[in-house]
Amino acid sequence: MTTATSPPEHALRRDHEAPLTPPVRHFLRKMTVATGGGMFIDGFVFATFAAAMAGRAHDELHVTGHWDSWISASVLIGTFFGGLIIGYITDKIGRKPMFTFDLILFSSCAFALFFVQSAWQVFVLGVVMGVAVGGDYAIGSPLLGEFSQKKDRGNYLGLLEISWNVGYVIAYIIGYAINSYWPGGWRLILGASVVPAVICLFIRHGLPESPRWLMSKGRDTEAKRIYRKELQVRDVGDLSEEEPQETNYRLLFSKEYIRRTLFVSMSWSAIVMPYFALTFFGPTILKSLGLRDALFGALLGTIVALIGATISWKYIDRVGRRPITIIPMFVCAVFLFLAALNSQLPLVFGVVAYFGYLFSYGIMSITTGIYPSEVFPSSVRASGLGVASSTSRVAAAIGTFMLPIVNDDFGTPTVLVILGVVSLGGGIISYMWAPETNGQSLTESSHRDLTHRKAVPVVPTAA
């Protein structure tokens, strides 16, 4: 028997959660490629900078130890400002216009990298490219999440993080090949990211605005038209999470949302700070651990992380967000502490621990784009993701800037212990604050009164 406060299950089922038709699947795949392209480019450019500086570019551009640190942190510094500024603008004026602007900015800087003559020019272009990347972080995940169904939203958003790892791997392979067989072609490594950026720009042409963002601004008619055209929804219903409201940063730091803002920012920082530092200076760390072909080892490490991310992507909508975040965080800490003991252990233990860390990182990495897209309402979703990504990039920049300094003064074991403590702290924060949003619609997961709501079990369908 049903009541007004307990409607039957079929009455709660939204038409937009029905099995997908082929045209809708095609649209979602295009949206995934378009948004994943930005993540691919981020991983790609980070790897090209690392690969170029590991080759002849370092000497020909007269890169000193000072500029080595600044170049390693340049894209991360830019990402900080891009996430904050473009994320806020995106919530104010919409996802669609900024989704094009940021790639035009990135492509222009990537092309200019072919002609750099000094280290400071690489740094400046890296910062501006980082601004575009930070903006894309704040736009892409919310946009895709706002079109996805709740039963496989984690799967779609997880693909974005896999795209980052794929971009990093491909760029590192290109860099490894050029450094090995044509060292003088280092400019091709630096500027190679212009190719995927231009391709992605063409793919994004014609994509619609987010209906949830339109509804958050009271533009329901436009939103329903997009849902009916792109997702073939007959009865849209009320998809807004809140009453239409103006974008305001203060909501992220209000009593209702401050814990969510702190959680996504601090956990994301704990995930990427050790990874960015260790991978940018991967050859240096692996040499310290005793691996002879350190450049190949660094390349292998990126593939190991990709494998971990792919496994996690397969199970994210079955296992849930919490375990895939918390357990690998503690495992990463254990592996980093073991790697720090490499001088007291046989060589194989230190190397295996290093790769074990990268595999565990890959598993938890895909949640960085999922949680921020699920725990904030549409009016500040891009802003919330921008704050989280910006905070994480500050942490990553600190890690990449300080690693060579700490490594030179105190040695690799000290570096690994510090990064292990960061992972341990991230695991504790996630255990205390991470919500379980699996199986919830964005209306449920982002509502200010549903912070402690349990996840709705996901029942596999034939869709």
Pick 247 or 51 by higher pLDDT: 51
291 or 129: whose pLDDT is higher?
Answer: 129
Torsion of CA 184, 188, 190, 191, to 10 degrees: 150
Q: Please tell me the predicted confidence (pLDDT) of residue 419.
A: 93
Task: Identify the pLDDT of residue 360.
Answer: 96
Per-residue model confidence (pLDDT) at position 339: 85
The residues near 383 (Cβ < 8 Å, ≥ 6 apart) are 87, 88, 90, 91, 138, 247, 249, 252, 376
What Rg, from alpha-carbon coordinates, does the chain have?
22
Q: Is the pLDDT of residue 162 over 60?
A: yes
Q: Is the pLDDT of residue 1 over 60?
A: no
CB-based contact 113:57 (threshold 8 Å) = no
pLDDT tier, 93 (very low <50, low <70, confident <90, very high otherwise): confident
Q: pLDDT band at 53, cuts 50/70/90?
A: confident
pLDDT at 5 over 90: no
Mean pLDDT of 262-274: 93
pLDDT at 43: 85
User: Does pLDDT of 254 surpass 80?
Assistant: yes
Within a 13 Å sphere around the CA of 221, how many CA atoms are in the beta-carbon half? Answer: 0
At 418, is the pLDDT very low, low, confident or very high (cuts 50, 70, 90)?
A: very high
How many helices (H) and strands (E) in the chain?
A: 20, 0
Helices 381-410 and 258-280: angle between axes, nearest 10 degrees: 40
pLDDT average, residue stretch 459-463: 36
91-126 burial: b if 16+ Cβ within 10 Å, else e: beebbbebbebbbebbbebbebbeebeebeebbbbb
Average pLDDT over residues 130-141: 85
Least confident of 132-146, 357-371, 426-440: 132-146
Query: What integer pLDDT is reported at residue 17 of this predicted model?
Result: 59
pLDDT for the residue numbered 237: 54
pLDDT (average), residues 325-333: 96
**What is the chain's mean pLDDT, rounded?**
81
Amino acid at position 409, single letter: D
pLDDT at 455: 43
Q: Tell me how far CA of residue 213 lies from CA of 50, 337, 450, in angstroms.
A: 37, 44, 20
Per residue in 174-207, pLDDT (tens digit) is 988 898 888 888 899 888 999 999 999 999 888 8
454: pLDDT strictly greater than 70: no
CA distances from 333 to 83, 285, 291, 353 (A): 28, 17, 21, 10
